[in-house]
Amino acid sequence: MSFLKSLFSKTQKLTATEILEKLSSFVAIEGNLVTPETKAAILLSPDDQEFFNNFCSRVTHMMDQLEDPPKFTLNADDHGTKWIILEKYPFQSLVKTVDRVSAELSIQKVGDRMIAAIFKGRFKKEDTYWICNYRTSNFYPFVPQKETGSNRDHGIPEGSRSRNHEKEMELGKLFKLRGLPVEAPENWFALWDAPF
Q: Bridge partners of 131?
A: 118, 140
Which residues constitute the domain of residue 177? 3-187
Question: Could you tell me if 108 and 48 are in contact, meaning their C-beta atoms sit under 8 angstroms apart?
Answer: no
Whether residue 90 is contained in a domain is answered as yes
φ, ψ at 47 (rounded to 5°): -130, -160
- 25: pLDDT strictly greater than 70: yes
- pLDDT interval class at 190 (50, 70, 90): very high
User: Is residue 195 situated within a structural domain?
Assistant: no
In a domain, 196, yes or no: no
Q: Are 135 and 36 in contact (CB under 8 A)?
A: no
Q: How confident is the model at residue 104 (pLDDT cuts 50, 70, 90)?
A: very high
pLDDT tier, 29 (very low <50, low <70, confident <90, very high otherwise): confident
Asked whether residue 69 is domain-assigned, the answer is: yes
- The number of distinct structural domains making up the chain is 1
Residues 6+ apart with CB under 8 A from 16: 1, 2, 4, 5, 8, 99
**What is the pTM (predicted TM-score) of this model?**
0.85
| pLDDT value for 2 | 57
Average pLDDT, the chain: 86
Q: 142-168, pLDDT tens digit by residue? A: 999 976 555 455 555 555 789 999 999
* Rounded mean pLDDT, 14-43: 80
